[in-house]
Amino acid sequence: MAAKWLKDAVFYEIYPQSFCDSNGDGIGDINGIISKLDYIKELGCNALWINPCFDSPFKDAGYDVRDYKLVAPRYGTNEDLYRLFAVAHEKGIHVLLDLVPGHTSEEHAWFRQSQKEERNEYSDRYIWTDFWLHGAQGMPYIGGESERNACYVLNFFKCQPALNYGFLHPQESWQFSMNHPEPLKTREAMKDVMRFWLSHGCDGFRVDMANSLVKGDDEKKSGTSMIWRDVRRMLDLEFPDAAMVSEWSDPKNALRAGFDMDFYLNYGGVNGYCTLMRDYYYDEKHDASYFKKDSGGNINRFLGQYLDWYEDTKGLGYISLLTCNHDTTRPRFGLEPDELKLAYAFLFTMPGVPFLYYGDEIGMRFLDVPTKEGGYTRTGSRTPMQWNRGKNLGFSEADEKDIYLPVDPADDAPTAEDQLKDPGSLLNTVKRVLHLRHQEEDLQADAEFSVVCSEPGKPFVYRRGDLLLAVNPNSGEVHLELPDENRSVLFSIGSGEFTDGQLTVGPQSFLVLR
């Protein structure tokens, strides 16, 4: 059963190096986040997910952790982060940190010890073969860089050696079972990291590459799932209000493994989530995203996958829909602000716990910028938050050449300050939708959901509890006969009405009917 506070939670994801620079060094920091908590609260978000803020050489933007218990100096100190927890809690905001359990940096003290030829307590904290000429049976590996006469397995980039949680079915002498004492020590070490931050006020974790722990795992990731269920037992006993969201995008497995939430991500660029706002992955010449006006997109391409997941996992936890994240092309890349209003209204009124990526609420663009800290094609979604028309669009007082990444140079670059003044802006539309979600229990995480109409050429109509919601992303008015209903419009973006059993939804409109 998911943590109770998630029922009315709306998360705001913060990429800390790009959010708000409080000390003028060109890099966002924890005190900058604290200074913007009122903005986040007023927006309608009552929970945060903060991307990795731990000590790191930043070869993968902090997902290469050098010390799990130390805040990276460029962001501040541990005490700053403890203060963030406290101030956020005073404002009714929960905070999740980003846990990276599958690997560390190659500069982590554990790995430095593990590289040594002489046996020590960390020798088996990572996965090593038994000889320098022996590869890792199809897994990525590195040889020739250690004193130790062996090769080590990678979990992602070259700088990220895989921690040893064992193998589901060991085949070689150097492969340990999951229940071998050494993989069990790795598991306990990660629990220790979690206990450290939870005891200082953290409310839980987003878990990076959550399905990557046990090697040689089967399709259902049964070995990795066993580990997460063990972690869940620890949390239930010691920190029962703590929540975890997995980067897995397989809720049937993730939620049964003990996660409260699982992200619905654009894995492979060809799943149901992609068809909502990023359907250009299918055909670069034609964007058939459902929320792109007159694109010919079909909501059933999303529903075909989503409904299967939803029905299978109901009561186990939540599927989390998100506007974007630090790995995904910003939705403004393919959609105009009026299209985004409808897309976000849909995302924020669906079941589960939604996530809003910083800057998406103002329609920040995906920028064509050089790679930074291993971002590559993801870098364009990681540029600084655009607060106002001041220096560096309000992100930092540093010289332009010193800021983490360049801000949008366009004359019409969106800013929070400008949009707060415009009642019809994307930002104020997001605020209205989130206010409605918090006000209406039928729009929150666990209220019942069913599809009323998903027929092409008609409005997409769905039910949340006793409320009826309708979307029309196209330029023509659409109608649907609902003779057994008696409804009035509670909330609208655009136009529409319900009269004598007929629902009318205007061009590019979204309705909530009571």
State the DSSP code for 291: T
Cβ neighbors of 358 (< 8 A, separation 6 or more) are: 12, 13, 14, 15, 18, 19, 385
Instruction: Please report the pLDDT score of residue 280 as a whole number.
Output: 81
CA angle, corner 445, sides to 441 and 449, nearest 5? Answer: 85
Predicted pLDDT of residue 281: 59
Across the chain, which distance is largest between two alpha carbons, in Å?
82
pLDDT at 454: 98
Residue 160's pLDDT is 98
Of 224, 340, 182, give the one whose Cα is nearest residue 276: 340
CA distance linking residue 514 with residue 485, whole number of Å = 10
CATH topology of domain 448-513: Immunoglobulin-like (2.60.40)
Write the DSSP string, 448-500: -EEEEE--TTS-EEEEETTEEEEEE-SSS-EEEE-TT----EEEEES-EEEET
- The Cα–Cα gap between 360 and 363 comes to 5
DSSP string, 46-83: -EEEE---EE---SSTT-S-SEEEEE-TTT--HHHHHH
The CATH homologous superfamily to which domain 105-164 belongs is Oligo-1,6-glucosidase; Domain 2 (3.90.400.10)
* pLDDT for position 215: 98
How confident is the model at residue 228, as a pLDDT?
98
CATH topology of domain 4-104+183-440: TIM Barrel (3.20.20)
Distance, CA of 196 to CA of 241 (rounded, Å): 15
pLDDT given at position 286: 84
Q: Which two tokens stand for residue 324?
A: 């974007």
Report the alpha-carbon distance of residue 70 to residue 57 in Å, rounded: 13
CA distance 346 to 504: 18
Tens of pLDDT along the chain (514 residues)? Answer: 789 999 999 999 999 999 999 999 999 999 999 999 999 999 999 999 999 999 999 999 999 999 999 999 999 999 999 999 999 999 999 999 999 999 999 999 999 999 999 999 999 999 999 999 999 989 999 999 999 999 999 999 999 999 999 999 999 999 999 999 999 999 999 999 999 999 999 999 999 999 999 999 999 999 999 999 999 999 999 999 999 999 999 999 999 999 999 999 988 667 999 999 999 855 667 899 999 999 999 999 999 999 999 999 999 999 999 999 999 999 999 999 999 999 999 999 999 999 999 999 999 999 999 999 999 999 999 999 999 999 999 999 999 999 999 999 999 999 999 999 999 999 999 999 999 999 999 999 999 999 999 999 999 999 999 999 999 999 999 999 999 999 999 999 999 999 999 999 999 999 999 9
Give Cβ neighbours of residue 305 (< 8 Å, ≥ 6 apart).
Answer: 271, 272, 273
Residue 82 near residue 32 (C-beta atoms within 8 A): no
Residues forming CATH 3.90.400.10 domain(s) in the chain: 105-164
> Does the global pTM surpass 0.95?
yes
CATH 2.60.40.1180 domain extents, the chain: 448-513
